Structure 1
Amino acid sequence: MRTPSMMRLLLLSLSLLPAASQAVERCQFKGKPINLDNGNSTAKLTGTVRCVDEDTQKETHTVSFRDGKRDGWEIRRWSDGRSVEQEYRAGQRHGGFKRFEEGRLVESTQYADDNTRGESLRYHPNGKVSRRTDEQPEDAKSTYANYDESGRLTEAGCGLRSSREAGLKDCVWKGPSPLVFFHPTGQKRAVIPLKNGLREGLTEAFDAQGERTVSTAFVAGVRDGVTTEYRAGKVRRTTTYAQGKAEGDETEFFDDGSKKQVITRRGREELHRVEYFQNGERKRDFAVKDGRAVESTFNDDGSLSERRHLRQGHGYGGWVPDGLTESFLPDGGPEQRQHFVEGDADGQRQVWADNGVLVEDSQWKKGRVTARKRWNPDGGLTEDAEFHEDGSRKKKP
């Protein structure tokens, strides 16, 4: 993966290569021809080598040496208006770097000991700064800021390899408060109040049409309080945070403003989830305690449809049935009851017909049936069997 620093080094290397053309470059040192590609020619050189285009006699390349190493400025120019200027010290890039296109400055950078260090600038065609970076040995302390062609700030933050937006914890913004980002249309994208360079209070974000999309409460650069998401001007979701972590309720809403779902969290742990029908009745209730859970589902009239007891499974940590699972008929009577142990049917299973008559009573062991009785809905016995481990019926004497 190429980092921004690597890309700049690559760009510089490419820029310093001769342009692909038929032009021939002639270089001289103190009036005598010299070949810059021959290390023996420059091994002990001190002074400036100058090169010109053989046909036009225009200067194309100057480079300064001291004791055989580049020291001072190296300048390359091409006929199409491109040029680069790089400062060296003792053979390493150290000092300024500038890149021009059609005579216009498009980039300026600082180097120290062959590495980009300090402020770098890139420019829009109209001459305004498009990107400003301050690169430090520790990437987390490096900063960046991007601007549109009108000079409006579009984004800013810390870290050139793993960036964090300005004002968040450990990324102090030294500019004024509020910090304002803009969309390319000129519409405000975010308005961020700051205290001591960190986000404090309510940060608001907007889409390109000016509709508010998110409002987030911050304290000392971390989310602390309620974050509210909007859709078409209406509240879509609210989430409560404490010191940067979800702590409390996350509530999602239907477009009419009624509750769609409420999740209660402590840190990363989900303790309770309730889903709702749009008419306000509960649809699903999932409650967790001490590694176990009870999941209940409901009909849209509020009546209980099914209830399952669960525990966290092994391996990927999903939930598996453990204990009683039961479902209910529309009148509230039992429809089915079955016992599970760690995801496998284990124990009694009973099934009832719509008229409330028991139609199955069976026994299970580790996911397989061992004995089963079945009846017609009118109560007539239709099956009375026991089973071997392979699932075949035991023959009766």
Structure 2
Amino acid sequence: MLLQSLLRLSLRFSVGGMLLYSSAALAIQVCELNQQPVDQNNGSSTAGKTGIMRCKEKESGVLMREQELRNGKFVGLVRFYKDGKLATEYMENEKGNHDGIAREFAPNGQVLREDIYVNGQQTGISKSFHQNGKLRRATFYGDDTREQAYAEFNESGLLRALRCADKPVLSPVVNDATLCGFSKSPSRLEFFNEKAELRARGTYEAGKRMRFESMGDDGKTAQLEENTADRRTEQFFSREGVKRREIVSKLGGKTPVKERQQEFSDSGTLVSDKQWVDGDLRMEKVFYLNGQLRTVSEYTTSGKQRSVGIKSYYDSGTLASEETYLRAGGYQQQATGTHKSYNQQGKLVAETSYDERGRLKHERGWDEAGKLVRDDEVFEDGSRKAYAK
């Protein structure tokens, strides 16, 4: 029972705790309670007893574990040691769950992590520290055990990352009231990496990130995000500083809903433009590098039927073709209606018609002078009936 209980506790605590318990389990231990030897594999030796059970490695006598008993039950303080130095400690309740403060330590005694548990659920402010003792990260967990806010710092104490809640929750560990802009004016922050190099700038107001700019190794803008009350605009840049993508999303729901996405070439010219309405793709435009429109795809939905009409253009801007397809899901689509092709002078040169099952049923063609040169009915087996020659 004791070994099973310890294994269950170490799995819940941390990877560090698991490694410590693994080492402790492999070593032969001798335990004592109130200066009397007890057998950790025999529950009857601890039945009804109260105190701190201490277990040492048999050969070296080095302390490996301490665990509190109350009337024969393992309730209260639990400590694990590595090479005789305290590595982890926590409290457990009668259900065997973490309950209270849990800590991890460096060999020099420095606290590396401190968490708060209520019946096995992490809550409140969790803290982790660098080896030099400075705060690495403070995280706030709500009553639903979800992470709601955090602030990260490098070894020099400079801010690395920040997530704000809808109100200040990290105090007194971190002054997120100021960092997150809950005062009268927005906060303007800078973010650094472990080498103390500037990597981002951000503006926060009432807990919301209004603007965020991240930089590459050369200090140039790599990504820029700007937020209003109901819209988010994200821009992505090349190493040369050229905007390559822009995404506009609608805010207000559980997750942002994409409304527009534009892609740009290496030189910064627009090459594609997609637009969504209520999460459904409605329009897609593709451009030549000379700026002329290449294709326009318009997506429509009528009941359960979804279709797309596509117009293609020559790089001169003249219409090249018109086609309509039924969308069967994903990238699958079925030709429908009448498809038309034009020459570079804008004259109709070919026309194909499809039935409701997407089968070719009629073809017509014209020469450059506009004379009809082909007019064929097409049957299911591929045979044709010519109406004009």
TM-score (structure 1 length as normaliser) = 0.75
User: Which residue number corresponds to residue 108 of structure 1?
Assistant: 114
Matching residue of 2:208 = 198
* 2: CA distance, partners of 1:367 / 1:174: 75
Partner residue, 1:122: 128
Corresponding residue for residue 36 of structure 2:
32
**Contact persistence 1:345–1:368 (CA under 8 A):** no
Q: Paired residue for 2:320?
A: 305
- The question of whether the paired residues in 2 share the 8 Å contact of 1:346 and 1:367 is answered with no
**Paired letter, 2:236:** E
1:140 aligns with 2:146: yes
Structure 2 residues not aligned, in runs of 5+: 1-9, 171-175, 180-186
Would the alpha carbon gap of residues 327 and 9 (structure 1) be closer, same or farther in structure 2, given more than 3 Å must change? same
Select the residue among 258, 262, 271 that pairs with 1:246. 258
What is the correspondence of 1:230-379 to structure 2 with a 5 Å cutoff? Answer: 230-231=237-238, 232-243=240-251, 244-247=256-259, 249-289=260-300, 291-308=306-323, 310-314=324-328, 316=330, 318-342=332-356, 344-353=358-367, 358-365=372-379, 368-372=382-386, 375=389
Structure 1, unpaired ranges of 5+: 158-165, 376-397
Q: 1:26 to 1:137 in 2, by over 3 A?
A: same
Larger deviation: 28-37 or 238-247? 238-247
Confirm whether residue 210 of structure 1 aligns to residue 219 of structure 2. yes
Identity of aligned residues (%): 20
Matches within 5 A, 1:172-183: 174=177, 176=179, 177-178=187-188, 180-183=190-193
What is the CA–CA distance in structure 2 between the aligned matches of 1:347 and 1:60, rounded to whole Å? Answer: 84
Partner of 2:6: none
* Cα gap change, 1:285 to 1:74, in 2 (>3 Å): closer
- Equivalent position SS for 1:119: strand
Give the equivalent residue in structure 2 for 1:49. Answer: 53
The one-letter code sitting in structure 1 at the alignment partner of 2:205 is K
Q: CA deviation at 1:150?
A: 2.4
Describe the shift of the 1:80–1:21 C-alpha distance in structure 2 as closer, same or farther (beyond 3 A): farther
Distance 2:235 2:202 in 1: 15
Shift of 1:44: 0.5
The structure-2 alpha-carbon separation of the partners of 1:30 and 1:333, relative to structure 1 and needing over 3 Å to count, comes to: closer
CA distance in 1, matches of 2:178, 2:205: 11
Secondary structure of the corresponding residue to residue 344 of structure 1:
coil
Instruction: Kindly provide the amino acid, as one letter, of the partner of residue 238 in structure 1.
Output: E
How many angstroms apart in 1 are the aligned matches of 2:222 and 2:77?
A: 51
SS in 1 for 2:376: strand
Q: What root-mean-square deviation, in Å, do the aligned CA atoms of Structure 1 and Structure 2 show?
A: 3.5
- CA, structure 1 residues 263+63, in 2 after alignment: closer, same or farther (shift >3 Å)? closer
CA–CA separation in structure 2 for the residues paired with 1:153 and 1:214: 19
In the alignment, is the contact (CA less than 8 A) between 1:199 and 1:219 conserved in 2?
A: no
Give SS of 1:301's match.
coil
**167 and 216 in structure 1: CA distance in 2 versus 1, 3 angstrom threshold:** farther
Equivalent-residue separation in structure 1 for 2:275 and 2:351 (angstroms): 29
